[in-house]
Amino acid sequence: MNKPILLSTPHMGDRELELVKEAFETNWIAPVGPHVDAFEEEFCQVTNARYGVAVSSGTAALHLALQLVGVEAGDEVFCSTLTFIASANPIVYLGAKPVFIDSDRNSWNMNPELLAEALDRRAKKGKLPKAVVLVHLYGQSADIDPILQACNQYDIPLIEDAAEALGANYKGRSLGTFGRIGIYSFNGNKIITTSGGGMLVCEDLELVEKARFLATQARDRAPHYQHSEIGYNYRLSNILAGIGRGQLAVLNERVAARRRNFEIYYQTLKNLPGIEFMPEANYGYATRWLTCITIDSEAFGTNREQLRLALIEQQIESRPVWKPLHMQPIFAECECLGGAVAEDLFARGLCLPSGSNLTDEDLEIVISQIQIVHYQSVRNKPKLLNSSLVVI
Ligand SMILES: *Cc1c(COP(=O)(O)O)cnc(C)c1O
């Protein structure tokens, strides 16, 4: 049996352990510490963000972001539908309601025209959303300019969920730095990881200070423990920030490795009938966090799910593209503007093993298995047809 080939696993560099050791040696184990400050600073250097706040997860960062722009119970927040549920959960934590927006085919991300039309309609009704959560899926930028323009027209804060898109850019500028607030994730499967963690970035010092305040239990300035607001325990630990600093140092290499994975899949599989690759929108630079394909079952010979199951049998982990949030049972009552594109990408989309630590041999195994599944299914088809003819 082959060793399992997984979708995306942590990939440590050379310095992480040394930095963690430094935290031990100086006893900066908790709560915050110099690695946290340095991680925030270095993160800002890499992304050109003004200020960063390191927190315990991307979800926590998004929760803070929504609260900082004033989302409250009863409000509505527009959100991309084709994404992981963590993009929308914090909307619900605050008692607000998500309204989902479909993707466009060029980027798989929020369709700017749908957003602009929806905001115009809502403005006429006097029922504008309190914020827009824009997701940059699988390391690819959404078309930010028209989206920002639509938001600015009605003074609606844009929050960028760049959890999957650290290292990517839009017209040369880092994702996450366009909106009022940007958030990132360092979960184990992301492009770099602290085992778990997140970052919030923002230009506005007042909001950043408020984020730090809320992330540390909203302690008033007093020697005794005094609180005038409800806060959270959301700060990143100094140990994990040490891992983050080591990971940041190899970010460019990680992006290059993931783009290389994509290129190898693309060059070897692009001519196989019925396979298409997630396009790279021409306005940006994608990290190819995950290599995503869509399967046309007629031409390929079998559908996405059968391909996925065939790969599992060979110990190869692949995953359907995110199930759109408007199709999730928990969001069944939520409004969705459009939805057919996201539904189609979900029905036919598959994410292939994409870790920056995959070997050429791993890639060859995945590629040859996909080829085998294709050739076997097209070969079997006419046979089945013949035999049924014989029976008749
Ligand atoms: C991973 C992810 C998150 C959440 O990040 P965590 O650090 O796991 O909380 C949010 N949004 C998207 C799009 C993600 O992929």
Q: Is 175 in the same domain as 139?
A: yes
Condensed to tens digits (0 to 9), the pLDDT of residues 164-176 reads 999 999 999 999 9
Condensed to tens digits (0 to 9), the pLDDT of residues 353-376 reads 999 999 999 999 999 999 999 999
> In this structure, are strands 158-161 and 131-135 parallel, antiparallel, or unpaired?
parallel
* CATH number of the CATH domain containing 325: 3.90.1150.10
Q: Is 375 in the same domain as 318?
A: yes
| Dihedral sign computed on CA atoms, order 244, 169, 99, 190 | negative
Tell me, yes or no, whether 345 lies in a domain. Answer: yes
Cα(87) to centroid(ligand 1), Å: 7
Count of structural domains, the chain: 2
Which of 250, 273, 302 is a domain's end point?
250
Which of 221, 250, 279 is a domain's end point?
250
Q: Given ligand 1 and candidates 53, 185, 235, which is best to mutate, with the most ligand atoms within 8 Å of its CB?
A: 185
Q: Is 106 in the same domain as 208?
A: yes
* CATH number of the CATH domain containing 154: 3.40.640.10
| Domain that includes residue 276, residue range | 252-380
End-to-end CA distance of the chain: 41
With tokens 């079952």, the residue in question is: 297
Q: Is 287 in the same domain as 198?
A: no
Q: Report the atom number in ligand 1 closest to the C-alpha of 164.
A: 15
Mean pLDDT of 32-49: 96
Tell me, yes or no, whether 389 lies in a domain. Answer: no
Report whether pLDDT(385) > 90.
no
Cα(80) to centroid(ligand 1), Å: 13
∠ CA 16-21-22, nearest 5°, is 100
Q: Whose CA is nearest to atom 2 of ligand 1?
A: 163
Would you state the structure tokens that stand for residue 114, as one six-digit string?
Answer: 């749908």
Tell me, yes or no, whether 190 lies in a domain. Answer: yes
Prediction pTM value? 0.95
Q: Is 111 in the same domain as 19?
A: yes
Cα(86) to centroid(ligand 1), Å: 5
Cβ count within 10 A of residue 237: 22
Which of 250, 271, 304 is a domain's end point?
250
Cα(13) to centroid(ligand 1), Å: 22
Q: Is 146 in the same domain as 234?
A: yes
Q: Looking at the chain, which runs of residues are DSSP E strands?
A: 51-55, 76-80, 97-101, 131-135, 158-161, 169-170, 173-174, 181-185, 198-202, 275-277, 284-285, 291-295, 319-320, 336-337, 349-352
Q: Which residue has the higher pLDDT, 386 or 18?
A: 18
Separation CA 261–CA 254 (nearest Å): 11
Residues with CB under 6 A from ligand 1: 57-59, 83-84, 86-87, 135, 161, 163-164, 185, 187, 198
Q: Is 162 in the same domain as 197?
A: yes
Report the candidate in 61, 14, 40, 23 with the shortest Cα–Cα distance to residue 238.
23
